[in-house]
Structure 1
Amino acid sequence: MKFRYAMVCSSNQNRSMEAHSLLKKQGFDVSSYGTGAHVKLPGPSLREPNVYEFGTPYKHMFDDLRRKDPDLYKRNGILPMLKRNSSVKTAPQRWQDNAADGPFDVVFTFEEKVFDMVVEDLHNRDHVLMKTVLVINLEVKDNHEEAAIGARLALDLCQEIEATESWEDSVDDVVSGFEKQHRRKLLYSISFY
């Protein structure tokens, strides 16, 4: 594998971590991030989410929710999600706080507002390396089933990108081919490090 990938979603660590887990199993150099102020996981009601700081170990979140209501968090898929996440990395990281992890060749986002945040963040950084980075938004609903589908689509797109000599020269063809094959519209932008 020749490229470095980042998977970025909002704050609940489902879509980006599902893609991170799948790509890591396939041997890709991949990292994952959230963009929110905190990690927010569903709670007993919409008004009562479980909120954690970025950097809180997934194991701590798992133990906390298992202590609060194991049946609820098992039934809604949060405990299995946290178990998967802890097998991929120790704790969630925030995109804006981890500039030193880059540069990445390709950054995937899974909702348009996150795409906008990542593009703006890259635009506002000092471009000392003048290295290009492709930012792609693959819109994915935030539920466990759609996250799994989105991860497979991200993997397919990564494999297409890897098969090119230079993504800079063939990104338009790769994107249009993907859109035709999967009937999904992608947003993409080229930024710099």
Structure 2
Amino acid sequence: MTYVSDLRIAVICSSNMNRSMEAHAFLSKKGFDVKSYGTGDKVKIPGSAADKPNIYDFGTSYEEIYLDLLQKDKALYTQNGLLHTLDRNRRIKSHPEKFQECVEKFDILITCEERVYDQVLDFMENKPPTDNSIVHVINIDIQDNLEEATLGAFLISDMCAMLAAAEDLDNDIEDVLHNFEEKCQRSILHSIVFN
């Protein structure tokens, strides 16, 4: 089902690589106006060992990261799904983007882990206000692996459909989120900040 909604939505994880991009892909296919971002200092993805992640600057293209991993260890990064993930990402947009450098305005910011939620709130509360429009910041915890990112994208898509159906989002959001929590058995964090 495709939704016609004027909600401007951003999905945010740490590196703009897995969880936010999977949700970006889902929401985009459903017709939502969606962007995705990361809040980390760098883009970090798994490497050959737990203590050896691959680290890139935000702005490094998904294509460059793909080619770098292909050259480093094609078998490993095919087996762990990273090449598939990067292939999907480069079809959606050119490179990971850092939320703190974004100038666009959104109605809803959806974060995929509590630490990212805290970083988004901190950034929004400390930046100079522009037009004082309401922004809803919502967190749903999603583990950073491929299976959970897919499940999380379904949940985020369901939640956005429920939010888009609200007659008066600012007044109805608490009820909508409460109903969503009961439906999916996941706890949600919600705060209001201003643009």
Query: Which range, TM-score by smaller chain?
Result: over 0.9
Percent of residue pairs identical: 44
Distance, in Å, in 2 between the alignment partners of 1:28 and 1:128 is 24
Query: What RMSD in Å do the two structures reach over aligned CA positions?
Result: 0.8
Alignment of 1:76-95 (within 5 A): 76-95=80-99
Distance, in Å, in 2 between the alignment partners of 1:5 and 1:12 is 15
Of 164, 185, 193, the residue aligned with 2:166 is 164
Secondary structure at the residue paired with 1:19? Answer: helix
2:144 equivalent to 1:142 = yes
Shift of 1:27: 1.0
Whichever residue aligns with residue 117 of structure 2, its letter is F
- State the match for 2:23 in structure 1: 19
* Unmatched 5+ stretches in structure 1: none
Alignment of 1:9-88 (within 5 A): 9-11=13-15, 13-88=17-92
Distance, in Å, in 1 between the alignment partners of 2:18 and 2:115 is 16
Distance, in Å, in 1 between the alignment partners of 2:43 and 2:174 is 34
* Unmatched 5+ stretches in structure 2: none
Q: Is the 8 A contact 1:12 1:40 kept in 2?
A: no
Whichever residue aligns with residue 126 of structure 1, its letter is P
Shift of 1:126: 1.2
Superposition TM-score, scaled by structure 2 size:
0.96
Shift of 1:44: 0.3
Superposition TM-score, scaled by structure 1 size:
0.97
| CA spacing shift, 1:55–1:95, aligned 2, 3 Å | same
Distance, in Å, in 1 between the alignment partners of 2:180 and 2:64 is 39
Distance, in Å, in 2 between the alignment partners of 1:185 and 1:48 is 32
- State the match for 2:105 in structure 1: 103
* Structure 1 runs, 4 residues or longer, greater than 6 Å off: none
Shift of 1:46: 1.3
Q: Is the 8 A contact 1:34 1:94 kept in 2?
A: yes
2:107 equivalent to 1:114 = no
Q: Is the 8 A contact 1:54 1:92 kept in 2?
A: yes
Shift of 1:12: 5.6
CA offsets 1:18-51 (integer angstroms, 9 cap, x no match): 0001111111110000111110111000121111
Distance, in Å, in 1 between the alignment partners of 2:144 and 2:23 is 13
